[in-house]
C-alpha cells in the first residue's frame, strides 16, 4: 500500500514539474516599452549625441522586429529596404522558441553592444532572465539562443555601416576667413559634433543627399537682405519674449523641445552638464505614448518603434549631410559680434552648424511615419519631458507637434526661419518616402491588438 501511495505522489510531483516546465512565458508590450526606456535612460546617462543615439534606436529595434517578422505574416520583414543586409537566420522550428522573448533578447543585446554603460543593461537583463527561466527553462534557453544568434548576424551588418571608420576621421576645422562659416559657440565652445555623419550608411534612403533641402538665403549682413532680416528676427523675438518673462508660451515651447544632451551650466567657477534626452529620444517617447494609448500588441508596438526609429536615423543622416555641406554660422555668433554682445538665446546653442534645423527634419520625418500608423487626428498628452522637470503639453496631431518642435528653435534663439521651414519640408518628404519604401500599414486605435 505504501509503495502504491509513493508511486501516486511521485507521479503527481512529476506531472506538476512537467506542467510547470511547459508554462508559457508571458511577455507584454509593456515589457518592450520598459526595455526601450532602459536604453534611452542609459543613452542620457552616457551623453550620446543625437545622431549616434538615433543609430542605437534603429539597430536595436530592427533586431527585435526582424525576429517578430519570422513568426507573424502580418508583419513582413523590412530586409529588402536595408542596404547590404542579409536575412536573419531562420529559427529551428523543432525548438520551443518564444518569439517575443527572443525579440527582447535581441533588442537588449544589440543596444548593449552600442552603448557605454553595459553593466546597467546586464543587470536589467539578469533580472528578466531569472524570471523567464523559472517560468519555462526549455523555452527560455531556446528563445535566448535564437535571439543571440540573430544578434551575432546583425553585428556583421552593423559593423559595416562606416561608424567605426568615422571615429578616426579628422575633427571639423574651425579655421576660416569665411564670415558665414560656423564657429563654436558659448559656453563651452565645443568642436562640431559628427562632421562625417553623412558617411554613415542609410537605412532606407538611397543616399545622404537624397532629400537635400533648398538653399538658405545667401549670407549677407546688409540691411534689408533676406539673411539679415532673418538674423534680426531671431534677435527681436528674444527681446520681445523678455518683456513677458519665463512664463510666455514661446519660452515654454522652446524649453519643452530643447532636447540638447550637451547643455552646460556655469555657477561661478563651477561648470556642470545637465543631461537631457535627444530629439530622436523625444519622438521615440511620443511613439511610446501613442502605442500605449492605442493598446497595441507586443508585435504592433515593435512595428511602430522600428518604423519611427528608421525615419529618425535616416533624418539625422540627411540633415547632417547638409549641415556640414553648408556650414552656416549660428545666430548667436553673428548677433554677439555685430548687433549686441550681451544678447543670449533662450536655449544653449548646440555644437554643430546651423542649416537646416535638426529638430525640424527629424520631427517632420517622425511625424509623417507616426501619422500613417496612428492616424491624422491623434490627440495625445506628451509627458516625455516630465522626468526633466517640464510640464505635459497636449497635441491634436503629430503634425501639430512637429510644427511646434520646429518653431521652438526660433523661439529658442538658435535657428533662422529658413532652417526651420525648409528643414520641416525636408523631414516631411523623407518621412513620406519611408512610409512608401517600408510599405507601412496603419494601426488604428480601434483595431489595435491587446
Q: How far is CA 49 from the centre of its chain?
A: 11
Query: Nearest CA to 319 among 352, 270, 285, 345?
Result: 352
Provide the grid cell at 112.
548593449
Element (H, E) at 230: helix 226-244
Fold classified for 24-161 = Vanadium-containing Chloroperoxidase; domain 1 (1.20.144)
CA distance 210 to 198: 11
Domain ranges across the chain:
24-161, 178-447
CA distance 19 to 21: 5
Q: What is the dihedral of CA 412, 413, 414, 415, to 10 degrees?
A: 100
CA distance 415 to 72: 45
Provide the grid cell at 252.
515654454
Q: Cβ(346)–Cβ(416) under 8 Å?
A: no
The DSSP code for 308 is: H
CA distance 434 to 2: 71
Provide the grid cell at 419.
532652417
What is the reported pLDDT for 5? 44
DSSP string, 330-360: PHHHHIIIII-TT---SSPPPSS--SS-HHH
Provide the grid cell at 186.
558659448
Write out the chain's pLDDT in tens, 450 residues: 444 444 444 444 444 444 445 678 999 999 999 999 999 999 999 999 999 999 999 999 999 999 999 999 999 999 999 999 999 999 999 999 999 999 999 999 999 999 999 999 999 999 999 999 999 999 999 999 999 999 999 999 999 999 999 999 999 988 889 999 999 999 999 999 999 999 999 999 999 999 999 999 999 999 999 999 999 999 999 999 988 876 789 999 999 999 999 887 665 555 556 788 999 999 999 999 999 999 999 999 999 999 999 999 999 999 999 999 999 999 999 999 999 999 999 999 999 999 999 999 999 999 999 999 999 999 999 999 999 999 999 999 999 999 999 999 999 999 999 999 999 999 999 999 999 999 999 996 544 433
Q: Cβ(163)–Cβ(46) under 8 Å?
A: no
Residues 6+ apart with CB under 8 A from 124: 35, 38, 108
178-447: CATH number? 1.10.606.20
What is the reported pLDDT for 270? 58
Q: How far apart are the first and last CA of the chain?
A: 51
Residue 276 has phi, psi (to 5 degrees) of: -135, 165
Amino acid at each position: 500500500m505504501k509503495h502504491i501511495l509513493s508511486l501516486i505522489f511521485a507521479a503527481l510531483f512529476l506531472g506538476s514539474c512537467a506542467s510547470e516546465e511547459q508554462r508559457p512565458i508571458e511577455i507584454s508590450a509593456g515589457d518592450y516599452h520598459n526595455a526601450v526606456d532602459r536604453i534611452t535612460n542609459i543613452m542620457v546617462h552616457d551623453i550620446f549625441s543625437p545622431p549616434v543615439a538615433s543609430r542605437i534606436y534603429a539597430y536595436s529595434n530592427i533586431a527585435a522586429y526582424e525576429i517578430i517578422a519570422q513568426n507573424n505574416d502580418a508583419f513582413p520583414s523590412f530586409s529588402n529596404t536595408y542596404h547590404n543586409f542579409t536575412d536573419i537566420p531562420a529559427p529551428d522550428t523543432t525548438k520551443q522558441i518564444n518569439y517575443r522573448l527572443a525579440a527582447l533578447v535581441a533588442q537588449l543585446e544589440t543596444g548593449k553592444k552600442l552603448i557605454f554603460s553595459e553593466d546597467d543593461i546586464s543587470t536589467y537583463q539578469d533580472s528578466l532572465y531569472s524570471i523567464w527561466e523559472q517560468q519555462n527553462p526549455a523555452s527560455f534557453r531556446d528563445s535566448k539562443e535564437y535571439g543571440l544568434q540573430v544578434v551575432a548576424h546583425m553585428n556583421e551588418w552593423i559593423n559595416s555601416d562606416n561608424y567605426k571608420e568615422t571615429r578616426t576621421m579628422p575633427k571639423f576645422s574651425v579655421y576660416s576667413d569665411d564670415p558665414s562659416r560656423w564657429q563654436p559657440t558659448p559656453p563651452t565652445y565645443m568642436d562640431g559634433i559628427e562632421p562625417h555623419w553623412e558617411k554613415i550608411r542609410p537605412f532606407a534612403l538611397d543616399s545622404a543627399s537624397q532629400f537635400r533641402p533648398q538653399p538658405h538665403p545667401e549670407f549677407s549682413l546688409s540691411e534689408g537682405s533676406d539673411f539679415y532680416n532673418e538674423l534680426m528676427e531671431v534677435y527681436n523675438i528674444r527681446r520681445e519674449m523678455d518683456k513677458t518673462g519665463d512664463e510666455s508660451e514661446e519660452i515654454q515651447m522652446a524649453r519643452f523641445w530643447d532636447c540638447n544632451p550637451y547643455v552646460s551650466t556655469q555657477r561661478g567657477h563651477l561648470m556642470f552638464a545637465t543631461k537631457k534626452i535627444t530629439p530622436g529620444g523625444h519622438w521615440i517617447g511620443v511613439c511610446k505614448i501613442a502605442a500605449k494609448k492605442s493598446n497595441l500588441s507586443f508585435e504592433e508596438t515593435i512595428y511602430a518603434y522600428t518604423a519611427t526609429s528608421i525615419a529618425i536615423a535616416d533624418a539625422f543622416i540627411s540633415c547632417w549631410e547638409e549641415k556640414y555641406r553648408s556650414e552656416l554660422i549660428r545666430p548667436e555668433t553673428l548677433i554677439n559680434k555685430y548687433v549686441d554682445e550681451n544678447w543670449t538665446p533662450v536655449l544653449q546653442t548646440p555644437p554643430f552648424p546651423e542649416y537646416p534645423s535638426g529638430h525640424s527634419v527629424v520631427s517632420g520625418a517622425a511625424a509623417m511615419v507616426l501619422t500613417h500608423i496612428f492616424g491624422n487626428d491623434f490627440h495625445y498628452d506628451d509627458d516625455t519631458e516630465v522626468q526633466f522637470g517640464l510640464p505635459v503639453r497636449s497635441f491634436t496631431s503629430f503634425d501639430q507637434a512637429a510644427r511646434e518642435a520646429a518653431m521652438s528653435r526660433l523661439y529658442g534663439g538658435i535657428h533662422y526661419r529658413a532652417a526651420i521651414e525648409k528643414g520641416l519640408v525636408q523631414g516631411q518628404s523623407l518621412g513620406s518616402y519611408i512610409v512608401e519604401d517600408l510599405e507601412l500599414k496603419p494601426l488604428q486605435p480601434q483595431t489595435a491588438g491587446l
